[in-house]
Amino acid sequence: MPSRQLTLPRLPKSLPTRRPQNAAPVAGIRIGATHVSVAVAAPASGPLAPRIAASAPLPAGAVKNGEVVDAVAVAQALRQAVAGHSGLGKQARIGVGCQKVAVRVIDLPPVQREEDVVAAVRMLAKERIPTAADNALIDYRLLPDGVTENGQPQKRALVVAARRELVDGHVAAVRAAGLDPVGVDLLAFGLSRTVRPSAATLLLDLDGVTTLAISGRDDCRFVRTIPAGIGTVAEDLAQRTGGDVAAVEAALLGDRSGVDYEQDEEGPAIARTIRAIASTVRTSIDFHVEQEDGTAPETCVISGPLAALPGVAALLHETLGLPVESAGALSGGADPVALGLSVEEVR
Q: What is the pLDDT of residues 329-339, one digit of tens each?
A: 999 999 999 99
Let me know whether 184 and 40 are in one domain: yes
The residues, any chain, with a CB within 8 Å of residue 116's CB and separated by 6 or more, are none
* 210 closest CA partner among 236, 191, 195, 196: 191
Model confidence at 1: pLDDT above 50? no
**Among 18-27, 101-110, 327-336, where is mean pLDDT lowest?**
18-27
Let me know whether 41 and 186 are in one domain: yes
Structural domain including 231 reads 201-328
Let me know whether 300 and 274 are in one domain: yes
Let me know whether 188 and 80 are in one domain: yes
Let me know whether 60 and 186 are in one domain: yes
Let me know whether 80 and 175 are in one domain: yes
Q: How many domains does the chain have?
A: 3
Let me know whether 60 and 113 are in one domain: no
CATH number for the domain spanning 46: value is 3.30.420.40
Let me know whether 51 and 129 are in one domain: no
Let me know whether 243 and 295 are in one domain: yes
Q: Is 26 in contact with 93 (CB distance < 8 Å)?
A: yes
Residues 238, 244, 247: CA angle, nearest 5 degrees: 100
Residue length of the chain: 347
Let me know whether 321 and 219 are in one domain: yes
Pairing of strands 344-345, 16-17: antiparallel
Q: Please give the pLDDT value at position 87.
A: 77
Let me know whether 65 and 192 are in one domain: yes
Q: How confident is the model at residue 219 (pLDDT cuts 50, 70, 90)?
A: confident
* C-alpha gyration radius of the chain: 20
Let me know whether 187 and 319 are in one domain: no
Q: What is the pLDDT of residues 118-132, one digit of tens each?
A: 888 888 988 888 777
Q: How confident is the model at residue 113 (pLDDT cuts 50, 70, 90)?
A: confident
